[in-house]
Amino acid sequence: MDRSLGCTAYMERLLWRKPWTEIAKAVGYSDHSGARKGAMRYAASHGLPWPLRPETLGGKIYSCRRYGVSWLYLSRHYDRPIRNLQVLSYKWARRNDREWPPNQPL
């Protein structure tokens, strides 16, 4: 996988839905617009969705699992029990006609 700044900014936004200002600081951009533009260029060059649509917690968890993030890490990140996250993700998958379990990488 490409580990450019644009890739990292895109993945931070996709998986964690962090604000652009926070992404810029974490990744190394000078401001939020640089992070956003880098992510946009990365998405365009790799045929990925842009702009990223708002996501529910269940959708975020489902996406993270598809990218290989563990249930334990998600549980600690969201400060919720694993079972609660699994139920949220399962219900999101059923409402959006996605396969379950979400353990196949994209």
Q: In the 8-state DSSP scheme, what is residue 32?
A: H
Q: Are 91 and 58 in contact (CB under 8 A)?
A: yes
The structure tokens 């974490």 sit at 26
pTM over 0.85: no
**Higher-confidence position of 15 and 106:** 15
pLDDT one-digit tens code per residue, 26-70: 999 999 999 999 999 999 999 999 998 878 999 999 999 998 999
Q: Is the pLDDT of residue 1 over 50?
A: no
CB 65 within 8 A of CB 15: no
In the chain, where the domains are located? 5-46, 57-95
Mean per-residue pLDDT of the chain: 91
